[in-house]
Amino acid sequence: MTEFGLFELETVVVGQPKRSRWRSYKGPSLTVSTVEGTLLAQVTHTDDTRFLLTGTSGELITEIARHAGFAQFGSVRFRFTDPADREVGTAVARGLVKTRQLSVQTERGRRLFLTRLGHLSDEWRLTETDPEQSPAPEVLGRVTVSSVDAWLGLQRYLLEMAPGLDAGERRTVVASTVCLHLLRRPPGDSASPA
């Protein structure tokens, strides 16, 4: 399977790779794999504003650029671009609890919402309408977080996407899940996740 085939899968895992407690870690920030553990892609960062989703052979799949607003009160915007620097999606987090909801726009302009069920919930639901405005929106996917290593606080995100999402929409959902992690655990931050 080519790395670009990862956007054809309905279920993938985005997670922090396991690492030694005693040595400094120099690998990717996150990996994208199948549920069985086959590596499909990885996320690296050059600074706190630019993150690269690359295939296993190193080719760029998607770049994620982060733009933060004024202090904790401003919004955080993410822009997704392909290797030709064309925008292929965006995600915006607003409010004091920025991990509550991401407003997502796909390459074709479809608007989606990735919403956490509650402040302490480990699940986000992907819907086409805002759950606060529509009491029972159709669920197009789920992102469930779990801990890989409680001592180090490593996180794992299981993405389950509806069969009706196309490859471009799935790319946006995978990139948005990376954004969720960045909002919860910024690079170099050892604090507990939000």
In a domain, 76, yes or no: yes
Q: How many domains in the chain?
A: 1
Query: What range does the domain containing 126 cover?
Result: 3-17+28-184
pLDDT for 114 equals 94
Span 38-42, mean pLDDT?
Answer: 94
- pLDDT tier, 130 (very low <50, low <70, confident <90, very high otherwise): confident
Residue 179, phi then psi, degrees to nearest 5: -65, -40
pTM of the model: 0.88
Distances (CA, A) of 63 to 20, 27, 162, 187: 28, 18, 24, 16
pLDDT at 129 over 60: yes
In a domain, 32, yes or no: yes
Q: Which of 46-55, 93-102, 183-192 has the lowest mean pLDDT?
A: 183-192
In a domain, 153, yes or no: yes
- pLDDT tier, 133 (very low <50, low <70, confident <90, very high otherwise): confident
In a domain, 156, yes or no: yes
In a domain, 79, yes or no: yes
- pLDDT tier, 190 (very low <50, low <70, confident <90, very high otherwise): very low
The per-residue pLDDT of the chain, averaged, comes to 86
CA angle 58, 60, 65 (to 5 degrees): 130
The amino acid that residue 97 corresponds to is: V
In a domain, 191, yes or no: no
In a domain, 44, yes or no: yes
CATH number of the domain bearing residue 81: 2.40.160.200
Are 137 and 126 in contact by the 8 Å Cβ rule? The answer is no
